[in-house]
Structure 1
């Protein structure tokens, strides 16, 4: 599937070098995303930057899901299947998060997971530079729903807490991914 890119730079790299290379790419991607947002915000205001960001992530949720499915799928139509697919996205290694699984139901299906983002690099960067948190709830809700619709269509997305909600110091946002009663669910 990597026919779209010339990855010959990795030819001859050992495992450590490949990991360093991937880490560098992730860092650069995160910086590009952050500087893009900050510059739109400077020119057009935070509300406009958030609106454009929402449009981008609406599209990215679907495109990323399609790519992950083609390369690594299929995934179970469950919250665990959804999260397994989502972990392939480049943002997960850059974010400190915790995943809690609900107890399995009588059929042995885990019908819900809670994902807590303990430290969001974007929000931490804004705080470091004296900027207010940006409102990311709607953007992430859209992204998660679009991703789930393609990867695990029975999974529902619930925002527990995310900016603009006030959040406690222990975390930046919290989400639930659930399989409604009566919906399928591969183990």
Structure 2
């Protein structure tokens, strides 16, 4: 079937599955829906909605850690990192596909599309980052506050060496947004880094690639 067709089928199945499940749950638990969304969520103050999203994102990250440690304690750090990197190769394209659908980002949207997509990533709700343009064909992305690395720093631990996972994560995410985009790692643990960021990545479109997609 291939990834592209699988994502297309997922989109069709998800919409129908969501309707079926939400309508059944609303009847069982006695809550009202508006356009298949719980009214309680729609009427929730914006600040509470934001905190809910942050909590869901934190749970996602915690679950990632639980799975990592399950493999690490069973098979060791090497296998845990290998599994982690492999999972990012699948999750990053899925996250990019989901964001494109939600935010109506067109295919092959270039660096501007990528910058928009980065705002909608799960990490964007729990980490702090900054983007610096280098002109129309490149920008750098700095992770200024990373929930995982900051927690380790507070405990007096060394940085978690996430460069291999980040390389997979950002390359696959960028490629899913636009195959012309290339990624360069400026620095990521175990690399030494300045206090103002934990990792830094450069996204660019080579002159030879412009207009190909």
Same fold (TM over 0.5): yes
What residue in structure 1 maps to residue 188 of structure 2?
162
1:35-46 matches, within 5 Å, as 35-46=66-77
String of CA shifts for 1:91-132, please: whole Å, max 9, x gaps. 1121121110013xxxxxx11000111221112223333443
What residue in structure 1 maps to residue 5 of structure 2?
none
**1:31 offset after TM fit, Å?**
2.2
- The answer as to 2:145 corresponding to 1:119 is yes
Over the aligned positions, Cα root-mean-square deviation in angstroms equals 2.3
CA distance in 1, matches of 2:66, 2:153: 15
**C-alpha contact (below 8 Å) 1:159/1:175 kept by paired residues:** yes
CA distance in 2, matches of 1:48, 1:166: 24
Distance of aligned partners of 1:15 and 1:118 in 2 relative to their CA distance in 1, 3 Å threshold: closer
- The answer as to 2:60 corresponding to 1:34 is no
- The answer as to 2:75 corresponding to 1:49 is no
CA distance in 1, matches of 2:138, 2:60: 30
String of CA shifts for 1:18-74, please: whole Å, max 9, x gaps. 222212212222222233334433343322221111011111111111111222221
**C-alpha contact (below 8 Å) 2:110/2:177 kept by paired residues:** no
What residue in structure 2 maps to residue 88 of structure 1?
120
- The answer as to 2:197 corresponding to 1:174 is no
Structure 1 segments, 4+ long, off by >6 Å, are: none
Secondary structure of the residue that 1:116 maps to in structure 2? strand
Secondary structure of the residue that 1:91 maps to in structure 2? helix
TM-score between the two structures when normalised by the length of structure 2 = 0.73
Q: Determine which of 59, 62, 66 is the counterpart of 2:97.
A: 66
> Which is worse superposed, 79-88 or 36-45?
36-45
Q: Which runs of 5+ in 2 are unaligned?
A: 1-10, 23-36
CA distance in 2, matches of 1:95, 1:83: 15
Distance of aligned partners of 1:77 and 1:180 in 2 relative to their CA distance in 1, 3 Å threshold: farther
* Bigger relative contact order, structure 1 or 2 (CA pairs below 8 A, ≥6 apart): 1
What residue in structure 1 maps to residue 154 of structure 2?
128
**1:166 offset after TM fit, Å?**
1.9
Secondary structure of the residue that 1:176 maps to in structure 2? strand
Secondary structure of the residue that 1:182 maps to in structure 2? helix
TM-score between the two structures when normalised by the length of structure 1 = 0.82
CA distance in 2, matches of 1:129, 1:59: 31
